[in-house]
Amino acid sequence: MHRMQHFITPSGSSPFPQIARGEGYYLWDKQGNRYIDGSSGAVASNIGHANSHVTETIKAQADQIAFAYGRVWESEANIRLANRLGAMSDMGYDACFFVSGGSEAMEAAVKFARQHAVATGEDSRWKVISRAPSYHGSTLAMLGVTGDPEFSGPFAPMFKMMPKVRTPLPYRPLSGLTPEEDARKAFEELEVTVHQEGPSSVLAIVIEPVGGTATGGAYAPDFYHTRLRQLCDEHGILLIYDEVMSGAGRTGKFLAAHHWPDCRPDIVALAKGLSGGYAPLGAILVSSEMLQPIRDQGGFAHGHTYAANPQSCAVANAVLEEVERLDLVQNAHVQGERLKQAVKALMQERRSVGDIRGKGLLLGLEIVADQDTKASFPNEVNALAKLKAHCASNGLMMLSRRLSGGVYGEWMMLCPPLIIDENAVGEIVDRLDQSLAAFESQL
Ligand SMILES: Cc1ncc(COP(=O)(O)O)c(C=O)c1O
């Protein structure tokens, strides 16, 4: 039989293990090896695998109605999900738009912002200032917003690169500055960029409030968030939070925005944990006040076949019901602190761990060649790949990131499902410790 190539596997990499099944925070491959899901896949499986409330909901919804086109039908599932998100986000968002994933959610967020500007007589606004490093998705428009030139690659001539400012990285501040001073400087650079671009041409500023794979859980000090909101208000710029990874409870609050309550974003993008990996889904949250001018001009000029499909919305309702029933937002905070402290304790002996950072269970574990100088491993060491292989052979499946040739450092995303308990934290830390020991002795 002709064997089709499934080209998601990167060239040169050995074939991925084949997944057989999952249960809770465990995964099994076809050979029967068991792994802890140390990064929730791509930080998506927030409630773990094979959750029976969700699997029963999937069957029940499919038996009733799986698909009903969102421009023709409303469904109980999408009405319930919208109301639930309004209540759980609790920041005055009373309108939302459902899509099928994170890139689509971010695309919808900037298109919504632009349509709002046009509908309110501010056609001059179109620039979306974002930060580097950052990741906001892989569609052509989002490549222009993403702050990581590696993703542009051969596509660079095909989209508009948006203005970029520096993301403050507390572990790697500019030379001679404390993390606080560095964040202050980064904010001043943002102010300068707004003025240079011309404030009346700036549509929106986009940030990941707690960073995903591009920064490994980095976030700015409180004052940065407060001043960012003030800057946007001063110039009529919309503030967009990309909470594709940080939202839905991952950081120990339902939205990462809740960590900075005086800095309410105008638009929030969600995906991943929203449906916990059980169905493709993304969403944007806005206020009906912002939506009204767009409605008055005929409605949001955007859509996808699967937007607000009942199957995905029913799944997300069931996932969020589990988040509430099991108090997973609080658990993310408690277990995240426990995990962070345990890794900090490991760092005394495991000298290749440079930093553990993040909020809740959105944690990045940065590896270094030297803890004192924070020097990264040279390219040729291929350190992350080696460490990840040790983790996998010790039954810990990890996602990692080394962007821009390693100039920002390199890290693994320590982001297990939010259902982990104290025992699971112990198990993760033991496996990590064994993997780091094997990795260090191999160097
Ligand atoms: C912060 C952030 N934004 C956007 C995206 C894109 O989401 P998706 O891969 O679902 O398109 C991701 C995915 O990792 C992300 O982490």
Confidence at residue 16, expressed as pLDDT on a 0 to 100 scale: 82
Confidence at residue 141, expressed as pLDDT on a 0 to 100 scale: 97
Question: Ligand 1: distance of its center to the CA of 104 in Å?
Answer: 9
Over range 56-77, report the average pLDDT. 96
| Site to substitute for ligand 1 among 136, 145, 148, 244, most atoms within 8 A of C-beta | 244
Over range 165-188, report the average pLDDT. 98
CA separation, residue 65 to residues 312, 349, 419 (Å): 11, 55, 30
Element holding 356 (H helix, E strand) = strand 353-359
Q: In this structure, are residues 96 and 308 in contact, taking their beta carbons and an 8 Å threshold?
A: no
User: Is the shortest distance between the CB of 244 and ligand 1 below 6 Å?
Assistant: yes
Question: Ligand 1: distance of its center to the CA of 42 in Å?
Answer: 9
User: Is the shortest distance between the CB of 271 and ligand 1 below 6 Å?
Assistant: yes
CA dist., res. 354 & res. 367, Å (int): 5
> Domains of the chain (ranges plus CATH)?
19-51+327-442 (3.90.1150.10), 74-322 (3.40.640.10)
CA 155 to chain centroid, in Å, comes to 23
346 burial (CB, 10 Å; 0-12 / 13-18 / 19+) is: middle
Confidence at residue 337, expressed as pLDDT on a 0 to 100 scale: 98
Confidence at residue 404, expressed as pLDDT on a 0 to 100 scale: 85
The tens digit of pLDDT for each residue in 81-140 reads: 999 999 999 999 999 999 999 999 999 999 999 999 999 999 999 999 999 999 999 999
| Residue 12 binned pLDDT confidence (cut-offs 50, 70, 90) | low
Mean pLDDT score across all residues of the chain:
96
Confidence at residue 11, expressed as pLDDT on a 0 to 100 scale: 67
CA dist., res. 5 & res. 17, Å (int): 16
Over range 146-166, report the average pLDDT. 95
Count of C-beta atoms within a 10 Å radius of residue 15: 6
Q: How much of the chain, in percent, has pLDDT values that exceed 90?
A: 94
User: Is the shortest distance between the CB of 291 and ligand 1 below 6 Å?
Assistant: no
pTM for this model (two decimals): 0.97
| Site to substitute for ligand 1 among 136, 246, 281, most atoms within 8 A of C-beta | 136
Over range 204-217, report the average pLDDT. 98
User: Is the shortest distance between the CB of 101 and ligand 1 below 6 Å?
Assistant: yes
Over range 59-68, report the average pLDDT. 98
User: Is the shortest distance between the CB of 433 and ligand 1 below 6 Å?
Assistant: no
Q: In this structure, are residues 415 and 210 in contact, taking their beta carbons and an 8 Å threshold?
A: no
CA dist., res. 251 & res. 166, Å (int): 23
Confidence at residue 15, expressed as pLDDT on a 0 to 100 scale: 74
Q: Say which residue the tokens 């023709």 belong to.
A: 72
User: Is the shortest distance between the CB of 245 and ligand 1 below 6 Å?
Assistant: yes
The tens digit of pLDDT for each residue in 309-336 reads: 999 999 999 999 999 999 999 999 999 9
User: Is the shortest distance between the CB of 346 and ligand 1 below 6 Å?
Assistant: no
User: Is the shortest distance between the CB of 136 and ligand 1 below 6 Å?
Assistant: yes
The tens digit of pLDDT for each residue in 274-316 reads: 999 999 999 999 999 999 999 999 999 999 999 999 999 999 9
User: Which protein residue's CA is at the shortest distance from atom 4 of ligand 1?
Assistant: 136
Confidence at residue 78, expressed as pLDDT on a 0 to 100 scale: 96
CA dist., res. 211 & res. 245, Å (int): 8
**Mapping DSSP to helix (H, G, I), strand (E, B) and coil, where does residue 160 land?**
coil
pLDDT at 399 over 90: yes
**Mapping DSSP to helix (H, G, I), strand (E, B) and coil, where does residue 172 land?**
coil
Q: Which atom of ligand 1 is nearest to the CA of 106?
A: 4
Helix, strand counts (H, E) of the chain: 12, 15
| Residue 1 binned pLDDT confidence (cut-offs 50, 70, 90) | low
User: Is the shortest distance between the CB of 216 and ligand 1 below 6 Å?
Assistant: no
CA 409 to chain centroid, in Å, comes to 19
User: Which protein residue's CA is at the shortest distance from atom 7 of ligand 1?
Assistant: 102
User: Is the shortest distance between the CB of 106 and ligand 1 below 6 Å?
Assistant: yes
Confidence at residue 99, expressed as pLDDT on a 0 to 100 scale: 98
pLDDT at 7 over 80: no
Terminal C-alpha separation, the chain: 43
